[in-house]
Chains A and B, each alone.
Chain A
């Protein structure tokens, strides 16, 4: 059955720390890198979030805080933007892709601890979670609603024009 298969696959990933790092990195490969969103000429810094994830000196809540500060559109989702693993995450990505803005994302399926850190950070129980310019915006229902009302366009306007 599909359920049990995905269970096995997921457990395989989650239980193996050594897999987590490359897979976490791979979630950036399908989209624009952090380099495209930063005004900082020193682009090396842009890769720090993924390294920090498994650096024990830095707490995961700091990682989240840094993520949402550094990335104008930050998405915590199930799967990756090019291969969402949940209908709601897929919807959020589809909405955001209507706009010419860089998307940064982390796959919370790969890291249960990160998942909990994000939930605590935003005090929001479900995924996806979308942050725009450091502000928690909501989940897929809200982003879709903001898209329909034009509020999202307004919110993303200055991000687009920076490109």
Chain B
């Protein structure tokens, strides 16, 4: 991977943020590393990577008119490299600006 140097410096959370922000023009983007909650479970055996599980909350106009499955697919597609390099699971909340109530 040509970005290896940068990848080593930037945390996975930062890379995820950048990729999603750029492609989805997110108005809200929260990426939380929750890997510690899953440390040691059977399925993380194949990776020494510590950044395996993330909670992602995205509000993007690009989700407009898309089903949940489609929205999740969009996120997974953008993060294909990460998924191949040790990212194990994402918990995704994907909403459109219209779906978020302007409560504040």
* Interface contact A142-B45, CB-CB below 8 Å: no
Which A residues are CB-close (under 8 A) to B88? Answer: 126
* Interface contact B72-A142, CB-CB below 8 Å: yes
Q: How large is the interface on A (under 10, 10 to 19, 20 to 34, 35 or more residues)?
A: 20 to 34
Mark each residue of chain A from 1 to 29: 1 if its CB lies under 8 Å from any CB of chain B, else 0: 11100110111000000000000000000
* Interface contact B91-A141, CB-CB below 8 Å: yes
B72 is contacted by which of A3, A88, A109, A138 (Cβ under 8 Å)? A138
A139 is contacted by which of B40, B41, B42, B72 (Cβ under 8 Å)? B72
* Interface contact A3-B45, CB-CB below 8 Å: yes
Which B residues are CB-close (under 8 A) to A106? Answer: none
* Interface contact B42-A109, CB-CB below 8 Å: yes
Mark each residue of chain B from 61 to 73: 1 if its CB lies under 8 Å from any CB of chain A, else 0: 0000000110011
B37 is contacted by which of A1, A87, A136, A141 (Cβ under 8 Å)? A87
Which B residues are CB-close (under 8 A) to A9? Answer: 42
* Interface contact A141-B45, CB-CB below 8 Å: no
Task: Provide the bound-state CA to CA distance between A7 and B93, in Å.
Answer: 31
Q: Is B8 an interface residue (CB 8 A)?
A: no
Mark each residue of chain B from 37 to 57: 1 if its CB lies under 8 Å from any CB of chain A, else 0: 111111111000000000000
* Interface contact A3-B40, CB-CB below 8 Å: yes
Which A residues are CB-close (under 8 A) to B89? Answer: 86, 88, 126-127
Give B contacts to A, CB under 8 Å.
37-45, 68-69, 72-73, 76, 80, 83, 88-93
Report 8 cross-chain contacts, Cβ distance below 8 Å, ordered by A residue: A9-B42, A78-B41, A78-B43, A87-B41, A126-B76, A126-B90, A138-B69, A142-B69
